[in-house]
Amino acid sequence: MEYRHLGKCGLKVSEIAYGTWTARGSSAAQAIAEQCIYAALEMGITTFDTADVYTRGRAEEILGKALGSVRRESVVISTKVYWPVGDGPNDRGLSRKHVTESLHASLRRLNTDYIDLYQAHRYDHETPLAETLRAFDDLVRAGKVLYVGVSEWRAEEITAALRIADQMGFDRIVSVQAQYNMLWRVVEPEVLPLCAAEGLGHLAFSPVAQGALAGKYLPSAAPPPDSRARDLVGSQLIARWLNDPVLTAVQRLAPLADEAGLSLAQLAVAWTLQNPGVSTAIVGASRPEQLRENVAAAGVTLGDDLMRRIDATLAGTAERDPGRTASPRPRP
């Protein structure tokens, strides 16, 4: 495993991070998620991404339990706030009340005194941005949060947050978490250049496009019975790529992956890590073996010619419209 700075801040994150979004559903699925966390630690992963909304806090509890036996300083824990976690009118959004209360609830579930990276899970159009940023700044000054970031914000929203922080002396956001893979490239025109200019790290989630880039979905064929496309929530996320033009293009990547000595999933993760500004690729896994396969992409360098041929192979299938940066994700 290799480690990179999160943008220009001093925090180092593992090149591959483990995301606990898949820690949902049955108790068996949650037990597997715990096994994946242990496997991640064995493979040198130090960065773990979760959110209060994942299984209504259960994902944070699983992560907190699994990390209870490791030295706290040896791992980076990232969690998020925004989506509803209850039925009350203040159980959502980025108000001072909800941000503060959600942070304390996350600390209890994760069994820790502080969060390394606390992120706004989406932009809140109903709360003044200065209120949110002041709440984050207060948590940093209180020692309960070390760094703050945002997830799936548009470039103009990030710019506004940086401007207000500079004007009011608030702690600046240090990172942007956004979906990024060979097929979903909407951050390239605006968000990634902004990150580069402002020194923000990019935590890229879904580098294998919910499994669409792993090659297991075939054109004109039903999804495998144990695949994410059969899962109610997962099927909503992967649906945009389950069409013959995209799946046919993905199959044409197989010879390029063979040439690089990689599986299709490893090629996808390596491609994401290769792009400038990416600090870490957040991968999920339905079993430890799948995680080990993805981790093998750490440290892999793809040649410029191979990168160009990948682009040519997927020409016409990748989404690049920056207006779709904040892609909606259904609540687990």
Residue type, 324: R
In this structure, the number of other CB atoms found within 10 A of the CB of residue 318 comes to: 16
The yes-or-no answer on residue 147 being catalytic is no
* Backbone Cα Rg of the chain: 19
Vertex 56 angle, CA 288 and 42, to 5°? 25
Beta bridge partners of 105: none
Q: Which residues contact 7 (CB under 8 A, 6 or more apart)?
A: 174, 175, 195, 199, 200, 201, 202, 279
| Residue 316 structure tokens | 């016409």
Q: Say if residue 226 is exposed, middle or buried (CB neighbours under 10 Å; 0-12, 13-18, 19+).
A: exposed
Q: Map residue 57 onto helix, strand or coil.
A: helix
CA dihedral over 137, 96, 282, 237, signed as positive or negative: negative
From the candidates 3, 18, 38, 54, which is the catalytic residue? 54
The pairing of beta strand 16-19 with beta strand 115-120: unpaired
Tokens for 328? 């909606």
Q: What distance in Å separates the CA atoms of residue 302 and residue 265, rounded to the nearest whole number? A: 14
Measured distance between the N- and C-terminal CA atoms of the chain, rounded to whole angstroms: 30
Q: Which residues contact 148 (CB under 8 A, 6 or more apart)?
A: 117, 118, 119, 120, 136, 137, 139, 140, 171, 172, 173, 174
What residues act catalytically? 54
